[in-house]
Amino acid sequence: MLDIAICDDDSSHLTLLAAYTAECIQKHRIEASIHQFLHPDELLRSCEKRRYQIYILDIVMPMVNGIGVGKSIREHDREAIILYATSEPGFALQSFTTNPIDYLLKPIDKQQLFKTLLLAVSKLETSQKCTCMVKTPEGIQVFRLSEILCCEYSNHKVIYTLAGARTVTTCVIKGTFPHHIEELLQDKRFVRPHVSFVINMDYVESFTKARFTLRYGHSVPIVAKRYSMVRDTYLDYQLAKGHVHE
């Protein structure tokens, strides 16, 4: 089940976007729930409690514009789909700092919206295949690789810290920590700066020779003998994405 959030401070535009979206998901038999917000603050408060997979955002809104909302979403969710639907063409270039799937101008062309929504669903289906499955005392837990900030090996268990600072702790693992994280390290986002830690480089705020500082205030040590390798890996990864953190 997908959750789709639509935010527009014009009630008539909001109603129309919701109607078009509902028509699309019904026509293509997509299991989804639509959530409407007249104010960006309402949406951001809701995001603190639940995750939406698709966001359809107006740009010119009171207090916080749609690009600001998109940036807030990106702070805790790199995989969500953001679509801008606005009457203002002048924000198109600025909007791409939030990596939107499309930038549609009002009046919205229904068929173009359908096309973009179907592309969004396709991208989500692909990204959801990149998941991690672990055994915990509460049962099997499945989460996306993109949600992982870091994982730590402690007392023969692995503690995963996820976006939002939620943690998942495995049962006692069979075999070694390197074996447990072997598949994880095949993903280019991850690097092992310490014998007991793996981090997701997408969540790095800063680093020194001694440690990485991750989002939500998490700190992960860097072993001295690994520093050069870890530094080069991190900088190469950021360069490949088109930016480097100072």
pLDDT, position 158: 98
CATH classification number, 132-241, choose in 3.30.420.40, 2.60.120.200, 3.30.70.1230, 2.40.50.1020: 2.40.50.1020
Task: Please name which of 126, 230, 219, 136 lies closest in space to residue 185, comparing C-alpha atoms.
Answer: 230
For 143-149, the CB contacts below 8 A with 24+ separation are 143/168, 144/79, 145/184, 145/187, 145/189, 145/190, 145/200, 146/78, 146/79, 146/189, 146/200, 146/202, 148/184, 148/190, 148/200, 149/199, 149/200, 149/203, 149/214, 149/215, 149/216, 149/218
Q: What is the pLDDT of residues 88-147, one digit of tens each?
A: 888 888 888 898 999 999 999 999 999 999 999 998 887 766 788 999 999 999 888 888
pLDDT, position 241: 67
Q: What is the pLDDT of residues 173-188, one digit of tens each?
A: 999 999 999 999 999 9
Q: What is the pLDDT of residues 220-231, one digit of tens each?
A: 999 999 999 999
Which residues of the chain does CATH 2.40.50.1020 include? 132-241
pTM of the predicted model as reported, rounded to 2 decimal places: 0.61
Give the domain 2-127 fold. Rossmann fold (3.40.50)
Which residues of the chain does CATH 3.40.50.2300 include? 2-127
Query: Which run of H or of E encompasses 132?
Result: strand 131-136
**Interatomic CA distance for residues 10 and 86, integer angstroms:** 11
Q: What is the pLDDT of residues 29-69, one digit of tens each?
A: 999 999 999 999 999 999 988 889 999 999 999 888 999 99
**Interatomic CA distance for residues 90 and 87, integer angstroms:** 9
